[in-house]
Amino acid sequence: MLDMPEWPGHRAGQHVDVRLTAEDGYQAQRSYSIASAPEDDRLAITVEALPDGEVSSYLVGELRVGDQLELRGPIGGYFVWEADRTEPLLLVAGGSGVVPLMSMIRHRHAAGATVPTKLLFSSRAWEDVIYRDELERLASAGDGFAVIHILTRMQPEGWTGYTRRVDAAMLSDVGWSASAMPASFVCGPTPFVEAVASALVLLGHAAPTIKTERFGPTGG
């Protein structure tokens, strides 16, 4: 969590650029999605430590309370969701692609919204599920939010959920029909996002209702 005394506020789904400057003047910059709700007092980003990652290694392993960071943002106005929207909300995440979607989920909860919302979340294993406990708690609130997990690599004993990659049949089972005109937000690695978006279009969802954000290797 970051204290941002001059933060102008953000919309759920936006991101920030984090820039680090070494003593010799060398600079490294990476973009990180905002995980916190617009209603939160502090800004939250979720950082996955990458092998040899210049920025992520510092943020995860060396950053301490009281250190200062240079941030630019908020950035982005396309991949955003506001809690006053009324159409059903379908969120599809691959791994750490859940971060901007979590901002939307937290925004929904903080605003007291009850629009039907489903998160289809693909992870490698149960231990890899980001925000797992918080998601389970929010899903048990009875306000129309549900989480459907996919575990593609390893599953705990007795697992009865999905183990395959997201496809049109899964989206048809989990989500809403195109006639319900849901708003869909998809975030994750590029191949994942392209496959999910294509499947939604095949199911008849209009392209303008499908918002996508993708990421790939950046060096950390």
Task: Please report, in tens digits, the pLDDT of each residue of the chain (220 residues total).
Answer: 677 777 789 999 999 998 877 777 777 788 889 999 999 988 998 887 666 666 666 676 666 777 777 888 899 999 999 999 999 999 999 999 999 999 999 999 999 999 999 999 999 999 999 999 999 999 999 999 999 999 999 999 999 999 999 999 999 999 999 999 999 999 999 999 999 999 999 999 999 999 999 975 433 3
CATH superfamily of 15-75: Translation factors (2.40.30.10)
**What's the Cα-to-Cα distance from 128 to each of 51, 145, 150, 170, 188, rounded to whole Å?**
17, 21, 11, 21, 14
- Residue 125: both structure tokens together: 């294993």
Return the domain boundaries, the chain: 15-75, 89-215
| 8 A C-beta contact, residue 2 and residue 42 | yes
pLDDT confidence of residue 202: 96
Nearest alpha-carbon partner for 91 in 40, 166, 159: 166
pLDDT confidence of residue 29: 82
Are 15-75 and 89-215 in the same CATH fold?
no
State which CATH number among 3.40.50.80, 3.40.50.1820, 3.40.50.12590, 3.40.50.850 fits the domain covering 89-215: 3.40.50.80
CA dihedral (47, 51, 52, 57) positive or negative = positive
CA dihedral (68, 70, 73, 79) positive or negative = negative
Cβ neighbors of 109 (< 8 A, separation 6 or more) are 37, 138, 141, 143, 145
